Amino acid sequence: MFKRLVIGAIVGAAVTWVYKDRISYSTDDVTRNVRERMAAALDAAAERVDSIANIVEEGLHEAARLISRRPRPALARDAVDTPGKLS
């Protein structure tokens, strides 16, 4: 059993040494593709977040504008405390 382990390790090391350039190229190619896809996905997500943030910001500004234009109701204590006002 130990003999098979040693032989397997030697064969694995020899194959790795012989094909190291192909392995390196393949690994670089795969990681480059993954990085490019992830960068594109992150860019798309950032654009969606910016779009949503703009929509929310516009909604908040519109809500603030509507609130500031709405007349404020008189408080009940103001009507009672003010002499000469009919309730």
Could you list the residue range(s) of the whole structural domain that residue 60 is in?
18-66
- The answer as to whether 77 is a domain residue is no
Contact 28, 21 (CB under 8 A): no
- The answer as to whether 6 is a domain residue is no
- The answer as to whether 73 is a domain residue is no
Tokens standing for residue 64: 């603030």
Provide the pLDDT for residue 77. Answer: 62
- The answer as to whether 85 is a domain residue is no
For the chain, what is the domain count?
1
DSSP string, 4-31: HHHHHHHHHHHHHHHTHHHHHHHHHHHH
Please list the rounded mean pLDDT of every run of 10 residues in the chain (87 residues).
91 90 86 93 96 93 86 64 55
- The answer as to whether 40 is a domain residue is yes
Contact 74, 68 (CB under 8 A): no
pTM: 0.48
